[in-house]
Amino acid sequence: MPRQHLPFPNGRLAVVAITRHGIALAGRMLTALPGATLFAPEKFRATAEAAAPGACACFAGKTGDQIPTLFAAFDGIVAIVSLGAVVRLIAPHLKNKETDPGVVVVDEAGRWAIPVLSGHLGGANAIAAALQQAVGATPVLTTASDARATLAIDLLGREFGWTFEASHDEIVRASTAVVNDEPVALVQEAGSPDWWAGHANGRSGPLPANLQRFARLEDIDPARFGAVLWISHRALPPGWAARLAGKRVIYRPPQEAA
């Protein structure tokens, strides 16, 4: 697997541990991810400071009371806490996939890294991959595109600074078309051609057979495809908005990358 990088600075990652063994594991994580912060109960302050010198914050009271602060201050949260407990703790604070942080649960033995929330846009899948490299935890990926190592619509080109224009329904439709092996047109008129090898979640092997590549939007018949992915600096040509209604995702590489 290619080396994974978080989709945000290490300083935006919090590691929460509530037992002595968990804190020791968290210290190993922070060694591999300098800039991250360890959150631990006040009663384990000495253990936390020894595990993560200068990079720990200890809290009094209940772990659940820290969730609003963690959600507001960090883009990614690693919880060395039971999966069921984490689900109950974060449930009252969930808003939407565009703004919720990526949350990953790791067992105290460091065997498994389980993305629980915001696998793609929030970066939880990328965090899990980084933890595999940091402490050997095996990522448990349940998102269909990652389980099948196919294209993740909402990650295409992120490593190159691409943005995308699409509604939530269009992202869902395009993602469904990809994972269900429907014909998908991928039209690239701009940006780096290495987006598959540089995919944000790491990909190897050939491009999936249901993705058909084109050099110009005008070369396709939209009716033949379940979704159209258009990588370009251009505005939609006249009449094409209606032809692509509900099935298009437009990607915008930085102008200097053209």
CATH of the domain at 123: 3.40.50.11220
Closest CA to 137 of 115, 103, 107: 107
Quick one: 62 and 24 in the same domain?
Answer: yes
Residues 16, 138, single domain; the answer is: yes
Q: What is the DSSP letter of 255?
A: G
Count of helix runs (H) and strand runs (E) in the chain: 8, 12
Distance separating alpha carbons of residues 41 and 62, to the nearest angstrom: 8
pLDDT of residue 80: 98
Predicted pLDDT of residue 126: 87
* Nearest by Cα to 126 from 94, 102, 154: 102
How far is it, in rounded angstroms, from Cα 176 to Cα 119?
16
Range of the domain at 205: 153-257
Residue 1 lies in a domain: no
| In a shared domain, residues 135 and 190 | no
* Res 4: pLDDT: 55
Same-domain status, 23 and 137: yes
Provide the pLDDT for residue 257: 43
Residue 126 falls inside a structural domain: yes
The answer to whether 128 and 103 have CB atoms below 8 angstroms apart is: no
- Residue 183: predicted pLDDT: 96
Per-residue pLDDT reduced to its tens digit, 98-141: 789 999 999 999 999 999 998 777 888 889 989 999 999 998 98
46 & 117 share domain: yes
pTM: 0.75
Domain termination site, one of 101, 122, 142 = 142
* Domain identity same for 99 and 21: yes
E strand or H helix at 84: helix 83-90
> Which of 73, 81, 123, 133 is CA-nearest to residue 103?
123
In this prediction, residue 205 carries a pLDDT of 81
- pLDDT score, position 90: 95
The C-alpha atoms of residue 214 and residue 75 are separated, in whole angstroms, by 35
Last residue of a domain, one of 142, 167, 198: 142
Statement to judge: residues 33 and 94 lie in one domain: yes
| 29 and 137 fall within a common domain | yes
Return the biggest CA–CA distance within the chain.
66
Is 2 domain-assigned?
A: no
Q: In terms of domains, do 159 and 134 share one?
A: no
CA distance 106 to 116: 10
Residues 17 and 136 in one domain: yes
pLDDT of residue 18: 97
Q: What distances in angstroms separate CA 67 from CA 6, 11, 63, 91, 240, one per listed residue?
A: 21, 17, 7, 10, 45
User: Which amino acid is residue 102, in one-letter code?
Assistant: G
Helix (H, G, I), strand (E, B) or coil at 124: helix
* Element of type H or E holding 71: helix 67-73
Q: Where are the alpha helices (DSSP H) in 149-254?
A: 168-179, 240-243
In this structure, the chain runs to a length of 258
* Residue ranges in the chain whose pLDDT is less than 70: 1-5, 201-202, 257-258
Question: Of 108, 142, 176, which residue sits at a domain end?
Answer: 142
Among candidate residues 15, 39, 1, 2, the one with its CA nearest the CA of residue 110: 15
Number of domains comprising the chain? 2
Does any domain span residue 147? no
Beta strands in 123-169, from DSSP E residues, in sequence order: 138-139, 163-165
pLDDT of residue 258: 41
Domain identity same for 15 and 128? yes
Determine the pLDDT at residue 33: 92
Distances (CA, A) of 125 to 2, 67, 116, 183, 220: 14, 20, 9, 26, 33
